[in-house]
Amino acid sequence: MNGHLTDKHYLQLTLDYAKNRQGFCAPNPAVGALVVKNEEIISSGYHQGCGQAHAEVNALVHFAEGELADATVYISLEPCCHQGRTPPCTDLLIRHRPKRIVFAYYDPNPEVAGKGQALLEAAGIRCEYLEIPAISLFYRAYAHWQRTQRPWVIVKLALSQDEKIAGEKGEPVALTQRSLQRFTHQQRQNADALLTTARTIQADDPHLNVRCSDNYAKPLYILDSYLNTPSSAKIFNTCSEVIIFHQANVEAERRASLIQRGAQCRIIGHDTEGLNLKAVLASIGQDGRHQLWVEAGGRCAQALLMQQLVHTLYLYQSSKTLGENAVAAFHSGLNQALLMERATCYQQHKIGDEIAYQLEFEVP
């Protein structure tokens, strides 16, 4: 294997390390790093979370200055060069003076954005950029957040064969099996936060946590114009934070009850369609969330789609048919075929015995 291919191989491995903490580092990005000497990985590290040591620090912690003169450090993201909650990683790298540094994505943060590379090169250390498409894809939500201060919105919707989402009177129907349920939990884990509606909480009383090999609590946002979220809902015990968006004119007693349960209640402007969704996303972006996983009903999904706020849509295709009187997923002429036509691209994933369509949309 020549050097160019070896660089790609090691950078791909940094992505594996970064993925260990995807969904737990915001407002920082998840980053992975490797130290390679004589074609052998001698150390690795990843960023654990905001305020904690960066990937480079964890990869270099076991070495004295001068030990890495013949080593190459591979990093999924350009090293940071500014003082944040932790010191600049460029300072650490300059002290250790590895032979070479190779990274796969320029940090879109304007405080870094090429400056990390320039600083290292000015210190006499070779610092090279090598594009890895999978890593570029991994950082798209972070780049979008840096550019717009709004999260990358991913919506999940499970449909029957006849494009229904619930039974005749709105009663919940299990449309997916274990394979897609596992996929959903993995996507929840990868997201920085989840969003649902009070209607979903009332109908299903879901846990909305992550149940993979381990259980994790995630921040949850709720669209709830009139504060109808029950104070007895399970989410108050299973989510790390509960933030409820509501309009200004609500019962003070109901608001106080939810705050007492630990919820943050935020007033958001509204119009004839309901809460202002752009303002909701701006508020979530201000919290530093890069990637938002939306798990609600068809009404919420349609509102986000119609306002062109959805970047990625997962349509889970069930083999069940629910019948004419069941609750339809879409209204006003929207349907699965039209969404596929509007998508910039889509993929079909076979997950176990089930099918999930991944649709990508251009968001203005």
Q: Is the pLDDT of residue 194 over 70?
A: yes
Core vs surface per residue 73-100: b (16+ CB within 10 A) or e: bbbbbbbbbeeeebebbbebbbebbbee
The structure tokens 């909305």 sit at: 208
Residue 44, domain extent: 3-141
Q: Give 230-245 pLDDT, tens digit per residue.
A: 999 999 999 999 999 9
Query: What residues are paired with 221 via a beta bridge?
Result: 195, 243
Has residue 230 been placed in a domain?
no
Q: Looking at the structure, tell me whether residues 135 and 160 fall in a common domain.
A: no
CATH at residue 210: 3.40.430.10
The pLDDT confidence band at residue 5, using thresholds 50, 70 and 90, is: low
Q: Does residue 3 have a pLDDT over 50?
A: no
Residue 127 maps to a domain: yes
Whether residue 167 has pLDDT greater than 90: no
Residue 269 lies in a domain: no
Is-catalytic flag, 56? yes
| Of 123, 141, 159, the domain-final residue | 141
Task: Give yes or no: residues 126 and 154 share one domain.
Answer: no
Give all strands of the β-sheet with 241-246 in edge-to-edge order. Answer: 264-267, 241-246, 219-223, 193-197, 291-295, 152-159, 312-317, 354-360, 345-351
Please identify, among 83, 114, 141, the residue that sits at the C-terminal boundary of a domain: 141
pLDDT at residue 2 tops 60: no
**Residue 312 within any structural domain of the chain:** yes
Summary mean pLDDT of the chain: 94
Q: Is the backbone peptide bond immediately before 27 cis, with ω within 30 degrees of 0?
A: yes
pLDDT for residue 169 is more than 90: no
Same domain, 344 and 284: yes
pLDDT tens per residue, range 36-79? 999 999 999 999 998 899 999 999 999 998 899 999 999 999 99
**Which residues, including other chains, have CB under 8 Å from residue 181's CB and lie 6 or more apart?**
none
List the structure tokens of 9.
């191989």
Q: Are residues 190 and 336 in the same domain?
A: yes
pLDDT band, residue 1 (cuts 50/70/90): very low
What's the rounded Cα separation, in Å, for the pair 319 and 313? 19
Into how many domains does the chain fold? Answer: 2
pLDDT at 253: 95
Average pLDDT over residues 112-130: 95
Catalytic residue chosen out of the listed positions 56, 78, 163, 295: 56
Torsion angle, alpha carbons of 326, 329, 330, 331, to 10: 30
User: How many angstroms separate the CA atoms of 274 and 303, rounded?
Assistant: 9
- The CATH number that applies at residue 105 is 3.40.140.10
Asked whether residue 91 carries a pLDDT value surpassing 50, the answer given is yes
Whole-number Cα distances in Å, 152 to 80, 94, 242: 23, 34, 19
Residue 226 maps to a domain: no
Among 120, 141, 162, where does a domain finish? 141
